[in-house]
Amino acid sequence: MAKLGIAIIGLGSAVQPHVRSLSDLADRAILRWGFSRTEARRAAFARDHGAPVSGDLDAVLADPAVGVVLILTPANAHLEIAERAFAAGKHVLVEKPLDATLDRAERLVAAGRAAGRRLGVVLQHRFRGGSLRLKERLAEGALGTIEAASLAVPWWRPQSYYDVEGRGTLARDGGGVLLTQAIHSLDLFRSLVDVTDVVAAQVVTTALHRMETEDYVGSLLRLRNGAPAQMMATTAFAPGAAERIEIIGTAGSASLHGGSLRITALDGTEERLDAEGPTGAGANTMDFPHDAHRELWRDFLDAVDSGRDPTVSGEEALATQRLIGAILKAGGRG
């Protein structure tokens, strides 16, 4: 099987887990280009990773050795870069969210379909070991019928994080804690318990941050089977704690704390899967292992090779972004 050539567009801090993942998958993929408009970032990337760099996007996309384009720019630039990549015949993996607005996100997904290329989205929490095992056990009926579920994302970002130009703004990021941080956990939660409706929401910006968008959201939700659910997400919980999903079923309960899973049957028997390492919940936004990124990349490469959609397809990410939009609207911020 020939190695797929990868071009990375955007060389900020988010590039690190991707480069590590591609190194682990060196038998299947090869880094062909790193692109940035910033000369200092190009120089640092070339020095640290020994890969060719360019400030000419047209030249990168014209390279026939490039089969996949990874887009790591701010959200408001995703659509145009993806359209150009699709037009050049490339498959696209894009950092969450799809784009800064729902309309642009829908256009991006449509562009991938029209081009007949694969589109994947970096929502890697689905690929943690505990997440995968919980998905399997739910499909097997280990918890019985889901009666209630909850999600909590008690993260922390200092004001210095939002003092970076564009951070926490609608123009660049498209939203606050939901679209930029909690989207990972909300996407996983939605995929596990099938959230369909928003009953009510509170969306606020606390006194802990000076920013345009929200840093605290609480919402009452409803699952497809009619069961109640709730979620809370914030970047104002210092110093930050791992996200938690809890599910109540007629045959037992499950708790997913970061990447660690505990399933307890009504008779008291337990199944545990422990995961070590932080989750990026605090001030150091990149403080997490790259294992889940590597498995997301493996799934995406499999999808390209076999001609199927990746697990986190454009449509899957779009469903999560639509849920975020509905929560914000219910809280008066839509």
Tell me what pLDDT residue 278 has: 87
pLDDT digits (tens, 9 = 90+) for 170-215: 999 999 999 999 999 999 999 999 999 999 999 999 999 999 999 9
Q: Taking residues 31-48, report their average pLDDT.
A: 97
Asked if the 4-124 domain carries CATH number 3.40.50.1000, the reply is no
Beta carbons within 8 Å of 180's beta carbon, 6+ residues apart? 97, 168, 173, 174
Q: In this model, does residue 56 exceed pLDDT 70?
A: yes
Q: In this model, does residue 1 exceed pLDDT 70?
A: no
Tell me what pLDDT residue 276 has: 78
pLDDT digits (tens, 9 = 90+) for 158-170: 999 999 999 999 9
pTM of the model: 0.97
Q: Let me know if the fold of 4-124 is the same as that of 125-284+314-330.
A: no
Q: How far is CA 327 from CA 59, 142, 185, 197, in A?
A: 41, 30, 15, 9
**Phi, psi at residue 262, to the nearest 5°?**
-135, 125
Q: Evaluate whether 98 touches 78 at the Cβ level (below 8 Å).
A: yes
Which residues are 264's β-sheet partners? Answer: 253, 270
Q: Taking residues 275-296, report their average pLDDT.
A: 92
Percentage of residues of the chain with pLDDT beyond 90: 97
pLDDT digits (tens, 9 = 90+) for 295-304: 999 999 999 9
pLDDT digits (tens, 9 = 90+) for 207-253: 999 999 999 999 999 999 999 999 999 999 999 999 999 999 999 99
125-284+314-330, CATH topology level: Dihydrodipicolinate Reductase; domain 2 (3.30.360)
Q: In this model, does residue 125 exceed pLDDT 90?
A: yes
pLDDT digits (tens, 9 = 90+) for 76-101: 999 999 999 999 999 999 999 999 99
pLDDT digits (tens, 9 = 90+) for 101-120: 999 999 999 999 999 999 99
Q: Tokens 């081009």, residue?
A: 115
Domain ranges within the chain, ordered by starting residue: 4-124, 125-284+314-330
Q: In this model, does residue 285 exceed pLDDT 80?
A: yes
